[in-house]
A and B are shown apart, each in its own frame.
Chain A
Amino acid sequence: MRDAGVRITVIALILCVLGIMSIYSNTHQKDDRYWQLTYQRQIFWVILGLVIFSIASHFNYRNLWDFSYFLYAFALFLLFLVFVLGVVRLGAQRWLKVAWFNFQPSELVKLMFVIFYARYFSAKSVHDVSLRVGKFGAFRAILLPLLFLSVPLYLIIEQPDLGSAVMIMMIFVVMLFLGHVKLRYLLAFIGLILVFLPLGWHFLRDYQKDRLIVFLNPNIDPLGAGYTIIQSKIAIGSGGFLGKGWLSGTQSQLYFLPESHTDFIFATFIEEWGLLGGGALLGLYYLLIRQGILIAAKTYDHFGRLLALGISAMLSLQVFINVAMNLGLAPVVGIPLPLMSYGGSSLFSTLLSLGILVNINKTRAVF
């Protein structure tokens, strides 16, 4: 357990198993056979994800440097494909039907952006082998990367998947910070975003506006948009200190809590395992993210370090937003809880990211 790679593998496995247990708990007694077997499909995804994880951990991350523009183009291509061929699901076109499996490209796009910006901000000057980002002006430090971001971001917002869009925007800001962009540019940029944020209200769809209003006061519409937040809080609060016990959560098993095996799996877990289990779960996530930061701190390759930090940032943002949303501290946006929520796309991209992290840990000694 001395090795960060082993630790990441163990923690990721524990989280996957907890996820499968929670999914089993809230789907095993549903009428439909298809529902009852949800957990088996998740086991299948986890096994497949672990294969991807081990491939990624053996694939030298330096190669990603060379692929990054290709990856960017690929991400753009996927998003266009969703835009054009998108299958209507849950009122949103976020999915690509690949054979038997509905793939959600925006999950993968996040990782691709992390790789892309890790490359962009770790480019070195040919003259003195120093990082070029230190000499960047406002244009090359912020505007140009933003330009790269604008088209994919627009496509994601059009899907509409506001959660992923906000997520990518936040990853971008964190990458700017960790990529050592001058602080004054960064602050000015954040300031500008805050100024223009209220204008964004008019571009939101009605259901998105509802979700924001309801976030501020869930009791406005307890049976409509506020329903999920209220039921999620009830699930979490009724768990108490020790929880109701595995397979005994009434909120999730009796359909009171919608999306209880995907976006609201955290509430499902807390209902059955209580504050104690919740504390342990948050602890596991923190340890996982901390491994990423530790690896970054030990890595002297700028690309590798920024990539490790970016992956950690991406993971932590997903955990933060999802948990905060479950607790009613953030508006309801479609962000799954990494490794635990049901769904292949999120699981694959998370395990892929972790695989890259493990590989950085393994190969950094070369440099």
Chain B
Amino acid sequence: MPRIRFFNFVVLVVFVVLFLGLANLSIIHGYKYSELSRKNCIRLIPQPGRRGRILDRHGDVIVDNMISYNLMVLPSEFSNPDQILSRLSRITGKDSAALKRSYRQNFISLSIPVVVSENIEIKKAIALEEMKPELGGFTIEPQPLRHYPEGELGAHVLGYLGEIDRWRLTKLADYGYNTKDIVGFGGVEEQYDYYLRQEDGGVSVEVDRKGKFVRMIGFRPAQSGRDIQLALDLKIQRIAESKLGDRRGAVIVMDPSSGEVMAMVSKPSFNPAVFVEKNAAAVQELFNDPKAPLFNRAISGAYPAGSLFKLIVASGALETKKINLSTAFTCDGGLTIGRRRFACWNTHGTQNIIGAIARSCNVFFFKTGILLGPQLIHDYAVKFGLSKPTGIDLSAETGGFMPDPLWDKVYKRKTWYDGDTANFSIGQGEVLVTPVQMACVMAVFANRGTLVWPHVIKDIQGRDVSAGFRKASSVPIQKSTIETVRKGLRNVVADPEGTSYLLASLPVEVAGKTGTAQVTGKLPHGWFIGFFPFEKPKYVLCVFLEHGGSGYAASVVAKEVIADMCSGGVL
């Protein structure tokens, strides 16, 4: 009898242990296992959406999408995929080792198709589709792919696409971005990624152990991204791009009244299609190129302003009444300040402010600058929007730099000499500006006193977005001052002694200013900023040539651009 009781007791204990084991699995680890069970049988078949297109101001397509074909192998159909992969490699003409490598890299689970080759040619896709009943075990999946019909055109404004990086992911995770998402880098693609971005849809299906479809559980349609219309005019952009040619530099064409950027070129450029093709060698080359082709010189490059800066000094001096129209200084080829002689590039004789702007006389502006004083020069430069980014709707804009005598004195304990002021007055020394800032400065004279907000966007999916635009601010300068400077700007072109007299032959009245910014040890940068037609300006033009030699070279480019715009009928 005691043995029976012992046996009964053991049986009871084992049952209790089994029950506890059961409770352990279903209650304590229940959540984990139900997740696993869900993953077992629910598959998401993604349906890629289409990223929004980018259009120019007339609705012509700059960037769109085309259908590409991905070759996918179904691992559940094979115990060893090597055989099918080598058959596929014979048909597609791709290296069989590469196919096997990408199969290994992309393999997730038996029931999920593996992408072995992306973006195969349409002819081969059709050939494969025909072979499908015979071979089996693979599918061809269409996928929208970014397409650049204009090639390199406007590459810096557009930006390129790539897989999201860690930095962007941490910033954007809250907005529904995930790892492996394709996002824009630089340009409009980055700035308006949120709107351009498609929402991938998908079908969630229940599958059995072999990955065979059992039933559909849910469906979410793919949402295409929104089309973005830019202020860019493809015609002008093409002209600007071709006229700048292989020279390093930037060209900007802007509407002076609204700030709409109608063309923006930076050279050397790149072809954004390289990033879509996942051509690793070409991408690496772009990143390593010492000429920095990915760098948008129009907004990210800060350069000495050179003689362009004289416009700021002239405005400041006229406004503070340090000089007036009858003030005249004599240029004898240079000016000695302290023990150093500051040279002018020519001997201009006696001239007033209008003549000094037209001939870009250094001596006149040395003297005017010293009269005005460096602090006021700095203050007026800031009023024209220099030293801080213009806020253009493109990423990676820089603000340039404007030396501030007070700041120097307080923080650097540096004494400011008249020689520094002289350099400052002609835009040399520490002054750094970007081409887009100078385009805005020129726009102030073109539109008579308004500092506009430069932007490339026009509307999103046909919806006007001007409510979100930054307000243009008026520069606190009297109309008379502006008119005086405008006269000077017109004379730069109209006066036979003006630095841009070559533009006088154009069928349109142009006003502008050249600049030659000295760079130690290298060729000087060449600048030209201008607007036209003179009375009712429609365009502001900024040409910048990096180590381009002189402002004259920039004027030549400007002339060609304006001539083509006239003959092309955009004016």
Residues of A at under 8 Å CB distance from B? 174, 177-178, 180, 223, 231, 233-241, 250-251, 254-256, 270, 274-275, 278-279, 282, 285-286, 289-290, 293, 296-297, 309, 312-313, 316, 320, 323-324, 327-329
Contact = CB atoms under 8 A, between A and B. Distances in A.
B7 interface: yes
Interface of B: 1, 3-4, 7-8, 11-12, 14-15, 18-19, 21-23, 25-27, 29-30, 32-34, 36-38, 40-41, 110, 206-210, 214
Contacts of A278: 19, 22, 26
A327 B11 contact: no
Contacts of B14: 316, 320
B22 A236 contact: yes
A263 B3 CA distance: 31
A274 B34 CA distance: 12
Given A240-B27, A286-B12, A293-B4, A327 B37 contact: no
Contacts of B210: 255
Given A254-B208, A255-B209, A309-B4, A327 B40 contact: no
B33 A320 contact: no
A329 B21 contact: yes
A322 to B, nearest CB: 10
A286 B14 CA distance: 10
A363 B208 CA distance: 53
10 contacts: A236-B33, A237-B29, A237-B37, A238-B30, A241-B27, A254-B209, A255-B209, A282-B15, A290-B8, A293-B11
B34 A320 contact: no
Closest 6 CB pairs of A and B: A237-B33, A238-B37, A238-B34, A255-B209, A254-B208, A237-B25
Contact of A327 (B22, B32, B110): B22
A251 B37 contact: yes
Contacts of A250: 37, 40-41, 206
Contacts of A328: 25
B4 A254 contact: no
Most chain A beta-carbon neighbours within 10 Å: one of B23, B33, B34, B209: B33
A234 B214 contact: no
A316 B27 contact: no
A282 B89 CA distance: 57
A241 B26 contact: yes
Contacts of B37: 234-235, 237-238, 250-251
Nearest to B40: A256
Contacts of A309: 4, 7
B30 A237 contact: yes
A238 B36 contact: yes
B33 A178 contact: no
A54 B326 CA distance: 132
Given A255-B210, A320-B18, A237 B26 contact: yes
Given A237-B32, A237-B33, A285-B15, A275 B7 contact: no
Contacts of B4: 178, 293, 296-297, 309
Nearest to B214: A254
Given A256-B41, A320-B14, 14 more contacts: A233-B25, A234-B37, A236-B33, A237-B30, A238-B30, A240-B34, A250-B37, A251-B37, A254-B206, A282-B18, A316-B14, A327-B21, A327-B25, A328-B25
B7 A324 contact: no
A286 B15 contact: yes
Given A254-B207, A320-B14, A240 B21 contact: no
A10 to B, nearest CB: 19
A236 B18 contact: no
Contacts of B214: 254
Contact of B26 (A236, A256, A286, A296): A236
Given A250-B40, A320-B18, A256 B209 contact: yes
Contacts of A320: 14, 18
Contacts of B7: 174, 177-178, 293, 309, 312-313
Contact of B19 (A239, A251, A256, A282): A282
A255 B36 CA distance: 15
Contacts of A296: 4
A289 B209 CA distance: 37
A254 B39 CA distance: 13
Most chain A beta-carbon neighbours within 10 Å: one of B26, B34, B36, B209: B26
A238 B41 CA distance: 12
Contacts of B207: 254
A255 B22 contact: no
A266 to B, nearest CB: 9
Contacts of B110: 223
A324 B21 contact: yes
Contacts of A233: 25, 33
A155 to B, nearest CB: 29
A236 B23 CA distance: 9
Contacts of A289: 11
Nearest to A278: B22
A289 B10 CA distance: 12
A238 B36 CA distance: 8
A285 B18 CA distance: 12
Contacts of B3: 177-178, 180
Nearest to A258: B209
Given A250-B40, A293-B8, A297-B1, A275 B33 contact: no
Contacts of A285: 15
A296 B38 CA distance: 47
Contacts of B22: 236, 270, 275, 278-279, 282, 323, 327
B15 A275 contact: no
Nearest to A286: B15
Most chain B beta-carbon neighbours within 10 Å: one of A233, A236, A241: A236
B18 A323 contact: yes
Contacts of A290: 8, 11
Contacts of A235: 37
Nearest to A294: B8
A261 to B, nearest CB: 15
A332 to B, nearest CB: 16
Contacts of B12: 286
Contact of B208 (A178, A255, A274): A255
A274 B26 CA distance: 7
Nearest to A327: B21
B19 A279 contact: yes
A255 B41 CA distance: 10
A285 B22 CA distance: 15
Contacts of B38: 238
A320 B36 CA distance: 26
Contacts of A274: 26
Contacts of B206: 250, 254
